[in-house]
Structure 1
Amino acid sequence: MKYANQKKLLVAVDCIIFGYDGEDLKLLIIKRPIEPIRDQWSLMGGFVEENEDLNGAAKRILLSLTGLHDVYLEQLHAYGDPKRDSVERTISIAYFALIDIKKYSKQLNNLYHAEWFKLKEVPKLIFDHNQMVTAALDKIRYQAALHPILFELLPKKFTIPQLQALYEQVYDSPIDNRNFIRKITSSGMLIKQNEKDKSNSRRGAFYFKLDKLKHRSQFQSFLNFIPK
């Protein structure tokens, strides 16, 4: 049985992958492998198969194109402009992912020429993909003011300067250094380690880990850092 007088539509998934390498917040994009506009910069995407749900499609596409799995993945928005794809009417469901670049740097699939770009250096993308990236950043900024999702971009142990730089780049706004250190260390959210990162100075900076038992109860005090 079929619905009468209804045309079929294609459904795609596009993945907006943000990564942090300890210094810069970046976006992972690929050279589009198919026509139209083959070899132009694009988000990672693909069509939803007949027997899979949207989340399953997003995870499959991430794995097949990049080798990435078990990453933070959240559905963002549906894009359905009738003219967004010049070949066929295609509705795209956008997802965003947050990863620690160093953790996954060796898993990227070279077949699709995947490349990391600093956010301010991202080239023009195909279709409405730049619009998707902007919407994803807005959603992440909103989410980060309510939940500690940005810790998904960090390794298990990180320094205070790395954490501060991450928040500054996400919100594209400077944060007072002394106030940040005082507030974050007094929040009880972080567990200080004995090790130091000495890659940037002889004195070095202590590593910290997120206290997962305390981060929910203490996160409200952390919101004072978020630029308004």
Structure 2
Amino acid sequence: MPYDPSAFPPFAVTVDLVVLTVRRHALCALAVRRGEEPYKGMWALPGGFVRANEDLATAAARELAEETGLRAHDQGSRSPGAHLEQLATYGDPDRDPRMRVVSVAHLALAPDLPSPTAGGDARSARWAPVDALLGVGDAEVREGEYKSPLAFDHGDILAAGVERARSKIEYSSLATAFCPPEFTVGELRRVYEAVWGVVLDPRNFHRKVTGTPGFLLPSGGTTTRQGGRPAQLFRAGGATLLNPPMLRPEV
């Protein structure tokens, strides 16, 4: 069959970011209130169109830097950076009323981040509890109380990102991406509790994480930032897979 350009109308590619952090012991996502149509005034995930000279990883890293000031971690570097990975591709023909748009979603994880500054077509930006954005429980986003669904199909993208994070910390060292370079076992436990939405037994958790080879390495220091007696500081070890895994409690 000869090539017919009219049968293949142009379409755009975007990157959408599920940026997760732990703030005030709650798992939060970066949300922006759209300042332009479509979906003007609605909350959405940060993201943008892929430029003609960019690959997907570059576009996602650029959007992450523009929205949060963070740079993605370079696997070949020892310098800290946000964990960034490709999540999924979304290509429903009607997902964007402007034109056919295919979005390649990415998941970004980082320690407690400062208040964001809106950019691009966003009217405002804020960290919001994921339960509020997903309409779970009684959580609310202030500034008019978040009640409407996220713009586009961003609710589905956010749910997929949250589940990826919740499942991946069971069998990998990904939870340390929410922590500063040096952290206590108690701080790591609060990450698990925030991501999973559960309360964990401190002694059992300490035994599991310190008994898993390569998961945590003592840094040689202590801290009293949590109050009370000095607590030992650790850093992430070289293990990427946990054996045995840290299974999520049933709730």
Q: TM-score, normalised by structure 1?
A: 0.84
Q: Which has the higher helix share?
A: 1
* Residue matched to 2:233: 207
The one-letter code matched in structure 1 to 2:117 is N
Q: What pairs with 1:13-162 in structure 2 (closer than 5 Å)?
A: 13-21=15-23, 23-70=25-72, 71-102=82-113, 105=114, 108-111=116-119, 112=122, 113-122=124-133, 123=146, 124-162=149-187
How many residue pairs match? The answer is 219
Give the unaligned 5+ runs of structure 2: 73-81, 134-145
Q: Which amino acid aligns with 2:104?
A: I
Structure 1 residues 172 and 135: CA distance shift in structure 2, 3 A: same
- State which of 195, 198, 218 in structure 1 corresponds to 2:222: 195
The residue type paired with residue 170 of structure 2 is: A
CA distance in 1, matches of 2:182, 2:172: 19
Q: How far is the alpha carbon of 1:3 from its aligned partner?
A: 5.2
For structure 1, which segment, 11-20 or 157-166, has the greater mean C-alpha deviation from structure 2 after superposition?
Answer: 157-166
Alignment partners' CA distance in 2, 1:47 and 1:87: 13
C-alpha root-mean-square deviation of aligned residues, in Å? 2.3
Q: Which amino acid letter does the alignment assign opposite residue 243 of structure 2?
A: Q
Q: Is the 1:27–1:118 contact (alpha carbons within 8 Å) kept by the matching residues of 2? A: yes
Q: What secondary structure sits across from 1:142 in the alignment? A: helix
**Identity rate, percent:** 31
Question: Using a 3 Å threshold, how does the CA distance of structure 1 residues 43 and 7 change in structure 2: closer, same or farther?
Answer: same
Deviation at 1:22, TM superposition (A): 6.8
Taking the aligned partners of 1:40 and 1:135, their CA distance within structure 2 comes to 20
Q: 1:3 to 1:44 in 2, by over 3 A?
A: farther
Contact between 2:23 and 2:112, CA under 8 Å: does it hold in 1? yes
SS in 2 for 1:73: strand
State the alpha-carbon separation in 1 of the partners of residues 225 and 19 from structure 2. Answer: 29
Query: Which TM-score applies when normalising by structure 2?
Result: 0.77
CA contact (8 A) 1:23 1:162 kept: no
Q: CA deviation at 1:225?
A: 4.6
- Structure 1 stretches (4+) deviating beyond 4 angstroms? none
Quick one: distance in 2 between partners of 1:3 and 1:54?
A: 27
Closer/same/farther in 2, CA of residues 95 and 45 from structure 1, 3 Å limit? same
- Between 150-159 and 3-12, the greater mean CA deviation after superposition: 3-12
CA contact (8 A) 1:14 1:94 kept: yes
- Measured in 2, the distance between the counterparts of 1:177 and 1:73 equals 29
Looking at structure 2, the residues matched to 119 and 197 of structure 1 have their Cα atoms a distance apart, in angstroms, of 30
Instruction: Give distance in 2, aligned partners of 1:187 and 1:93.
Output: 34
- CA shift, 1:72, in A, is 1.2
Equivalent AA in structure 2 for residue 78 of structure 1? T
Change (3 A) 1:180 1:28: same
| Unaligned segments of structure 1, at least 5 residues | none
CA distance in 2, matches of 1:3, 1:72: 42
